[in-house]
A = this chain, B = another copy of it.
């Protein structure tokens, strides 16, 4: 274990740059914070390049089998590296996963995210897609960055549990249709009450931007438009909540 004491240490300066999307994309790495996320990363086989702990942090011994460089820093530097108000004493530099666009299989279950902008919403949606046992998530243009610290934290580790791929959603919709997978788009107009949607084994659900919803071109290419009934006076549901309700309704008889 090497110790860093100075703010001007080159490695520390490089890791702090990972707070920006530009540097994450350039380096192909991102930061994960806290023992829970690091445990999930290791369990899933994600590659950690560096693990940085605050002095006196008690490292899980089983992690020492992993091949990463281990560093310790004083509390003051940990605070600079952390993006949370209460750092948990451990941060890792993690390599981005390979993106495999050939995910679509017969009877697969997929979520297509069209321009969800809030990183907290995106992370929560990925956690929900994991809970709902989906086979993959596709992130369309205009969607928040998967590797943003807030997104990663909101997934609670689910980003390590299922394939998540940046993609052209119109292409994914075509691929799904070629595999006879029903493509459902959320919509407020001419949409069917989700409770009346037919039960299908495979499906691709498209959810959209917080304000504008799913873009028209994707709605038009979908097999069916669905909506959640509003029984009260709210204009709409939060997109993460709506995604959860729809994913469970579409699998109402799954065992």
Contact = CB atoms under 8 A, between A and B. Distances in A.
A73 interface: no
A228 B248 contact: yes
Interface string A151-191: 00010111001100000000000000000000000000000
A245 interface: yes
A134 B232 contact: yes
A44 to B, nearest CB: 9
A195 B255 CA distance: 11
29 contacts: A124-B240, A124-B241, A127-B234, A128-B234, A130-B232, A131-B228, A131-B231, A131-B232, A131-B234, A131-B237, A133-B231, A133-B232, A134-B232, A157-B234, A158-B232, A158-B234, A161-B232, A161-B234, A231-B251, A237-B244, A238-B240, A238-B244, A240-B240, A240-B241, A241-B243, A241-B244, A244-B244, A245-B248, A248-B249
A12 to B, nearest CB: 28
Interface size class of A (residues with CB under 8 A): 35 or more
A243 B228 CA distance: 15
Interface in A111-140: 120, 124, 127-134
Contacts of A236: 131, 156
Determine how many copies of this chain the complex contains: 2
Interface of A: 120, 124, 127-134, 154, 156-158, 161-162, 195, 228-238, 240-245, 248-249, 251-252, 254
Shortest Cβ-Cβ A-B pairs, 8 listed: A133-B231, A241-B244, A133-B232, A130-B234, A161-B233, A131-B234, A130-B232, A124-B238
